[in-house]
Amino acid sequence: MGSSTPADGPLVIGGRPLASRLIVGTGKYRSNEEMVSAIRASGAEMVTVAVRRVDLDRGREEGILHHLDPAEFFLLPNTAGCYTTEDAVRYARLGRAAGLNDWVKLEVIGDERTLLPDTAATLGAARQLVGDGFQVLAYTNDDLITALRLEDAGCAAVMPLASPIGSGLGLVNPYYIREIKRRLTVPVIVDAGVGTASDACLTMEQGVDGVLMNTALAAAADPVAMARAMGLAVRAGREAYLAGRMASREIAVPSSPTAGMLE
């Protein structure tokens, strides 16, 4: 163990310490068994779920609570698919009524092609839900001003995107993400866009508190192996950030002594 590396505590959101800085979704897996195996391999404790109509023709086994034990994972209901403040608040309340907790991953989409957030509607929903006693983790754009306002609204965490949901484009704006992290007090979790382990590592190296991903695991050829890789990448990125990287320069500097060469 390096003695000069600063000690790192757990990620704490809304007063709740989490076992991992990686948060994962549960969508788009080929099977429920594969989903559960991948989540376990990732090491994530906080796991997002969506609220949808029961399919009355296909039966109850579709419900994810038949596959994920709320005693093993902290289930975070989302408002994915909502396009208005009103809908997001409605879905959040339905999620809370399931009786697991009063937390919500708030997501209000503004555009179908990019799934970029409607930040004004997100802010409106965040204010209502915080007033209603929710712990709100708000998905948002990589926009500092919105991030600051979401913090002011009382969000427990602010979650700017790395790139569009499900795109796998990786971290497109490291500078904006770093600036959001520098300016906020609440945890900053980068949510969406990570494609592979290097993306997760690079994201964590910006100093953010955590990463949330779904498609990068579910759409991998081997989701369980990718989940393990992502767990390692998040830890590696965090430790590299804490270790403090060397300055980069566009000229070589020899690693071996220049003195003592033979004549």
Nearer to other proteins, 64 or 236 (CB): 64
Q: How far apart are CA 188 and CA 147, in angstroms?
A: 9
Residue 182 engages other proteins in binding (rule: CB under 8 A): no
Residue 133, by phi and psi: left (phi above 0), alpha (psi -120 to 50) or beta?
left
Q: Site for other proteins (CB under 8 A): which residue of 52, 152, 183, 222?
A: 52
Residue for token pair 């959101």? 13
Q: How far apart are CA 200 and CA 194, in angstroms?
A: 6
Q: What are phi and psi of 137, to 5 degrees?
A: -110, 110
Catalytic residue among 21, 93, 96, 105: 105
Q: Is 258 exposed, middle or buried (0-12, 13-18, 19+ CB in 10 A)?
A: exposed
Stretch binding other proteins (CB under 8 A), from 11-19, 21-29, 117-125, 248-256: 21-29
Quick note: the x/- pattern for other proteins over 64-103, rule CB under 8 A, is: xxx--------x-xx-x---------x--xxx-xxx----
At position 257, the amino acid (one-letter code) is P
105 included as an active-site residue: yes
* Interaction residues for other proteins, span 207-226 (CB under 8 A): 212-215
Contact footprint for other proteins (CB under 8 A): 25-29, 35, 48-54, 56, 59-60, 62-66, 75, 77-78, 80, 90, 93-95, 97-99, 165-166, 192, 212-215
